[in-house]
Structure 1
Amino acid sequence: MKYLFKLILLIAFVQNGFSQEKQALFTIDNAKYYSDEFIRVYNKNLDLVKDDSQKDLDKYLELFVGYKLKVQKAYRLGLHFNTKYQNELMSYRGQLAKNYMNDSKVTNELVEQAYERINKEVKASHILILVDENASPEDTLKAYNKIKNVYQLLKEGKKFEEIAQQYSEDPSVKDNKGNLGYFSAFRMVYQFENAAFNTTVGQFSAPFRTKFGYHIVKVTDSRKNRGEVTVAHIMILKPSVPDAALHEKAKQTIEDIYKKIQQGENFESLANQFSEDKSTSGKGGVLQRFGSGQLASEKFEEVAFSLNDKNEISKPFESQFGWHIVKLIDKYPVQSIQEMRTELESKVRKDERSLIITNSLATKLRKKYLFTKNEKLIQKIKKVVNDEFYSQTWEMPENKKELSGEIVVLNKDKKLYSPSFINYIFSQQKSNIKIKPVNALVDYLFEKWMDEQLIKYYDENLENEFVDFKNIVEEYRDGLLLFDLMEKEIWDRAKTDTVGLNSYFKNNAKNYMWSNRYDIDVYSSTSQKVIEKTKSYLKKNKSTDYIKSKINKKGVVDVMVKSGLFEENQDVLSEFKTPQKGVSEIVKKGNYYFVLKIKEVKPSQEKTLDECRGKVISDYQQFLENNWVDELKKEFKVEINQDVFAKVKSQILK
């Protein structure tokens, strides 16, 4: 029975080994690529593929092989040794690792705290004394003494705004007297947020430190969070030069537009025609939704949030960027915590709150990983640390041989050495730790250092702990290499290879043509009679200023005009069948009537390279890339295992 039991175990092990054995789908030179990766990537990207042809397994395999060929080329060129690449990969891995370095209980507590704060907005001012978070003890003490002096002046009753202007080292203080406006959770660093939300309205906080330096914050108001709004706007930019006439003209334009709105003309159409915010004018002026403190203009926010009813329109107003008219599209109150939980968890992991989660994680890792420490060596270290630590003047011993050795064995496979701990003790002098006597201090620092080592070990082994983490990091690694390779072999080449670019442009010049273009003045009005009158003036060769003076009377704007060089299907030109030089016929589009004064007609012609260089470079890049994989197949030996591919097809198509 004993031998039979061993035989059954052996058979089970062999069968399991065969079932789990990876099968090479294809090889590139000596590198093997396995079917499990292909299946995983195919299934992962299936819903993202818009081109049905790419869902075809044969074509997808061709794309996948092409992708891996490029990655192999990147390795052959040694791009993975590039310092910038390595730093970016480690930065990404570090960001991704944050999702695995948390404690769910602590995270939930921080999410609930953040949600409670999100329901409020506080208005605060601050005084800042700058000091780098890694500053020397002397510089740190100097900054601390400055903020203590400021704090004492405030306690004596000095006005906060005056003290801010006199002492604050925030560069913006000259303009805002320290006023930061309204903000809610996640808008400031966590330490600052804590101070602001824990300070009573009308009071100022005790000095506190952030990564920027020492602060004192005064809370001047608190209100319920206004949520977010979506608005549309019409904007006339401020002239870039201090010319009074140009400023007055811009201001008059926004007032003329407002009069047309009051006359019943459509806001979206006017935004489309006249707004100089080109990122929104084509969408009727609609901006992305925003909350307090998210825009650069506090004035714009105040006007936007002052509108109460959908489609309500503000009067013209001025911001630091220009003149605006704002229309309310919709208001969005703060969502419930259930609706916001995913978003809040992500934000909690990304800001200083993550340190709280990390400390909690260390406690869990002490239970997960066993470690043994060298008590004798720790006692030796205690003898060389003295009271100079407290004055930040302690120096590490010159003779470290007696202190060298294994200080910790972690999880039976990771050895930690004493110089790391001694260096840590030296660095912690800046933390102003006052624990006494020295023996207790060293014990305290050892536990802190050990927490860091546990978290570091856990971080280093995430690929072994979590398969999905390993896969994501590998995908990003290859993608980053491919980006660097494309930049080197395709994008930069297309920009710098002037001979190749000129040759490509010459062979494809017919693809880069101007349509018929027209140098025109476009006159518009909601009144057919007005536009007919405008046309009669144009027939008499009257100027734009003359026409506006005759038609726009008594503060009523009946006709608007814009000028420029337009292609034949651009803007309202598409409504005119055969535009000719001179004055056009009248056409109607929507609620508007239009007439054109066509000053010049430029017939269809080939563009010069300078007129379409960006498009040509883009097309040339695509041309190079399309031929690149064929070149790589000649450089590398590719072999596809058709038997394995047949099994892959069968598995995916089940």
Structure 2
Amino acid sequence: MKKSIQLFLILFVTFTSFGQSKKDKVLFTIEGEPTYVSEFSRVYKKNLDIIDKKDQKEIEEYFDLFLEYKLKLKEARNLNLNEKDAYKKELAGYRKQLSRNYLTDNNATEKLVKEAYDRLQKEVKASHILIKVSLDSAPQDTLVAYEKIMNIRKSIIEGADFGEMAVKHSNDPSAKGNKNIPANKGNLGYFSAFRMVYPFESAAFNTKVGEVSMPVRTQFGYHIIKTEDVRDNVGEVTVAHILLLDVKENESKEDPEQKIKDIYSQIEAGGDFGKLAKRFSEDRSSGVNNGKLPKFGRGRLRSKAFEEVAFSLKEPKEISKPFKSEFGWHIVQLVSKHGMKSFDEEKPSLERKIKNDKRANVINSSILKKIKKQYTIEESANGRNDFYDLADATFFSKAWRKPTDEAFNNKTLFQVKDTKVTYGEFATYLQKIRARAMVKNPEAKSFINRYYTEFMNGRLMAFYEADLENINEDFAAIYGEYRDGLLLFDLMETEIWEKAKTDTIGLEKFFNAQKEDYKWEKRVEAVIASCTQEDAAKKVQQHLNDGKSLDEIKEAINKDNKVNVIFSPGIYEEGHRNLPKGFKFEKGVSKIFNDGNTDFTIVKVNEIMPVSYKKLTEIKGKVISDYQVYLEKEWIKTLKKNYKIKINKRTYRKLKKLVK
């Protein structure tokens, strides 16, 4: 019965109305609550689309089923099943999950996915100069940083060397280097999509080779980027290696260079690379796995020397000569190469990455633009100024507290439709964010402006999500289906299914009253032999007549690993699908039945069993299912008596015309 309810829910699903047309007629009311022709029409037409014609009922029959469905929902709500904590929790979880699909801009997402895929096919080599300035810095400090980076760019355009300017001016410490790390002069090497913050990545990919970008703002400050080169992305490699640490790190007094050469000689002489890695490699994490490392792409490793050798190998099992990196001496063996995947293969992974990347801001901006067009948003004229006044000398210290003045906290900061967001809510948000501020010496006004926008955008997104049933017909339909379906399921579980399983006295009484419906037809206790060849069938028939056991017959017939006969012993009711056409209920071994192809069947009847009544224990599952149907019918009769139903007879008579 539970399976049938699933089909019922597919057929009869309602959803939030988007405003009834003046022409829309009331079809019926239950306790004065109207149901319109348009709702019934949607259900009826949906059913015509998904159900085979042979299963389609007349419109009058659907009307009866639809009315019963509405009655059940009315009963569920009157029993307050929609107030149960378990129901609310499950419904809220489903709504949250479903709404994610509607809080995105598919066009923007598709463009970002395509952009990311195209960029992943390439690797760009770039250098940069950074002038640090926080997102919360005062406007005058931001302007100073911008002018400084612009002056540096001007000097480079006029002929100054980019690397020298990076060493002299860049706030990225790697540009100058230190005693442990040589200066990179701003050179970041090769990288592809998702390796840098999105604005930086875009500037690097969009700047022509040899040119210097205009200033790019990231959370770190202002950058200028020089694109040095662009090359094809060859994908990833899996390699194994043997590592001997440099003599400074090596605990023994052995010369690692000589030892790696000795190991290489053993490999050249036919030694097993994996076994030698297990024995000698001082990278223990990979050594235990025959030296194998996780796959990686270019630009992913800290050692460029190692990376260059790994990607220079052409064929699997090819082995490099010994070489030195920052970590010691290596021998590398190529395990496999992994080429770039197709767009369709990469798309699901890229969509997930984009949601967790700064690119998601592009999607959110698109949604927010849509929200701001859809709703009228009223902002307090003095809101920001009132919060600027709160930012005293203690604002960025632990001593600052949100105002306790109720008149202040209850002021409206902004309003969307009937929903008001108060000063107090923003003050609470500011207090939490301020405690997490990581920037040194932020400027209060810039800080408040930044997080006011963030707070407002978050509330707009939350409002939009909460309002989805009213503005998105597709969401309303899917959510309404689940909401009503879950409610109806709980109702049926409570009123019918559990009762049918636990009411043993009622079940037995129902069974005894319907005994004529639960009878065994004539049956046989028999063995059915199935063969694919006539010769085998004749031999089986003879062996059965001779009284040989099934094991003896199988041993004689199934030879040379060929299964020439399959036996199926059991009790078979008259008309059973396994009994051959034309079979007669007679004791003994039957003739050979043939379907005209390769199916040869013999039946040996051991006993003929007469028509008899079934026992409840034999068919309890079937009886419970029938009892549920009976209980439901009786329950529907009660509901129709308990609720005042008024059918608009004139509209009902015209129903066929109205739902066309």
TM-score, normalised with respect to structure 1: 0.56
Q: 1:475 to 1:81 in 2, by over 3 A?
A: same
Deviation, 1:586, is: 2.6
1:27 corresponds to 2:124: no
In the alignment, structure 1 residue 567 sits paired with structure 2 residue 572: yes
Write the distance in 1 (CA, Å) between the matches of 2:63 and 2:515.
Answer: 35
Cα distance, 1:533 vs structure 2: 2.5
Where do residues 73-152 of structure 1 align in structure 2 (5 Å cutoff)? 73-109=75-111, 112=114
Question: Contact 2:396 / 2:434 at 8 angstroms: preserved in 1?
Answer: no
Q: 1:202, 1:601 → 2: CA distance?
A: 80
Counterpart residue type for residue 600 of structure 2: Y
Matched residue, 2:489? 483
User: Which residue matches 1:379?
Assistant: 388
Q: Which has the higher contact order (CA 8 A, sep 6+)?
A: 2
2:297 aligns with one of 187, 200, 221? 200
Post-superposition Cα deviations, 1:322-370, rounded to whole Å, max 9, x if no partner, equal xxxxxxxxxxxx9x97xx99x989x989987996644642354356553
Q: How far did residue 42 of structure 1 move?
A: 3.5
> What RMSD in Å do the two structures reach over aligned CA positions?
5.0
Q: CA offsets, 1:415-437, max 9 Å, x none?
A: 21345445545766998965862
The code of the aligned residue for 2:368 comes to A
In structure 2, the partner of 1:129 is none
Query: Following TM superposition, by how much is the alpha carbon of 1:584 offset from its aligned partner in structure 2, in angstroms?
Result: 3.5
Cα distance in 2, alignment partners of residues 438 and 164 from structure 1: 56
Q: How does 1:319-398 map to 2 (within 5 A)?
A: 357-358=363-364, 360-366=366-372, 369=375, 370-372=377-379, 374-379=383-388, 382=391, 397=401
Residue aligning to 1:540: 546
Is contact 1:99–1:349 with CA below 8 Å preserved after alignment? Answer: no
**Counterpart among 638, 641, 651 of residue 631 in structure 1:** 638
Letter in 1 for 2:338: S
Q: How many residues align?
A: 448
Q: Distance in 1 between matches of 2:356 and 2:519?
A: 54
Matched-pair contact (CA < 8 Å) for 1:54–1:60: no
- CA offset at residue 499 of structure 1? 2.0
- The AA in structure 2 aligned to 1:485 is L
Q: Distance in 1 between matches of 2:604 and 2:338?
A: 57
Aligned counterpart in structure 1 of residue 616 of structure 2, from 605, 609, 612: 609
Query: Which residue in 1 is equivalent to 2:453?
Result: 447
CA contact (8 A) 2:396 2:435 kept: no
SS at match of 1:573: coil
CA 1:458 to 1:577, structure 2 compared with 1: closer, same or farther past 3 Å? same
Q: Aligned AA for 1:560?
A: V
TM-score (norm 2): 0.55
For residue 577 of structure 1, report the CA deviation from its aligned partner: 0.9
Aligned letter for 1:514? Answer: W
SS at match of 2:579: helix
Q: Between the two proteins, what is the percent identity of the paired residues?
A: 31
Residues of 1 paired with 2:554 and 2:298: CA distance?
A: 54
1:5-404 to structure 2, matched below 5 A, reads 20=22, 23-48=25-50, 50=52, 56-109=58-111, 112=114, 157-160=283-286, 162=288, 199-200=296-297, 222=338, 357-358=363-364, 360-366=366-372, 369=375, 370-372=377-379, 374-379=383-388, 382=391, 397=401, 400-401=404-405, 404=409
Query: Which residue matches 1:594?
Result: 601
- Go from structure 1 to structure 2 and tell me whether the alpha carbon gap of 1:49 and 1:420 turns closer, same or farther (over 3 Å shift): same
> What one-letter code is carried by the residue in structure 1 that aligns with 2:465?
D
Change (3 A) 1:74 1:97: same
| Structure 2 gap segments, 5+ residues each | 1-18, 121-233, 240-280, 304-334
Corresponding residue for 1:458?
Answer: 464
Q: CA distance change for structure 1 residues 421 and 53 in 2, over 3 Å: closer, same or farther?
A: same
Q: Does the C-alpha gap of structure 1 residues 429 and 520 become closer, same or farther in structure 2, counting only changes over 3 Å? A: farther
CA shift digits 1:490-527 (9 cap, x unpaired): 22222222222111111112222334555544444333
Deviations 1:185-238 (A, max 9, x none): xxxxxxxxxxx8xx42997799xxxxxxxxxxxx9663688xxxxxxxxxxxxx
The answer (yes or no) to whether the contact 1:515–1:567 under 8 Å persists in 2 is no
CA distance in 2 between counterparts of 1:435 and 1:519 reads 89
Tell me how far apart the structure 2 counterparts of residues 451 and 445 of structure 1 sit (CA, whole Å): 10
Secondary structure of the structure 1 residue equivalent to 2:594? strand
Q: Pick from 415, 423, 426 the counterpart of residue 410 of structure 1.
A: 415
Please tell me whether residue 618 in structure 1 is matched to residue 620 in structure 2. Answer: no
Match of 2:512 in 1: 506
Q: C-alpha displacement at 1:635, in angstroms?
A: 0.7
Q: Secondary structure at the match of 1:578?
A: coil
User: How far apart are the structure 2 equivalents of 1:652 and 1:582?
Assistant: 62
Aligned to 1:640: 647
Per-residue CA deviations over 1:79-108 (Å, capped at 9, x if unaligned) read: 221222223333444444344322133222
Given the superposition, is the C-alpha separation of residues 644 and 114 from structure 1 closer, same or farther in structure 2, using an over 3 Å criterion?
farther
Give distance in 2, aligned partners of 1:99 and 1:632.
Answer: 38
User: Equivalent residue of 1:84, what SS?
Assistant: helix
Change (3 A) 1:540 1:50: closer
Structure 1 unaligned residues grouped into runs of 5+? 1-16, 126-154, 166-176, 180-195, 207-218, 226-333, 389-393
The structure richer in helix per residue is 1
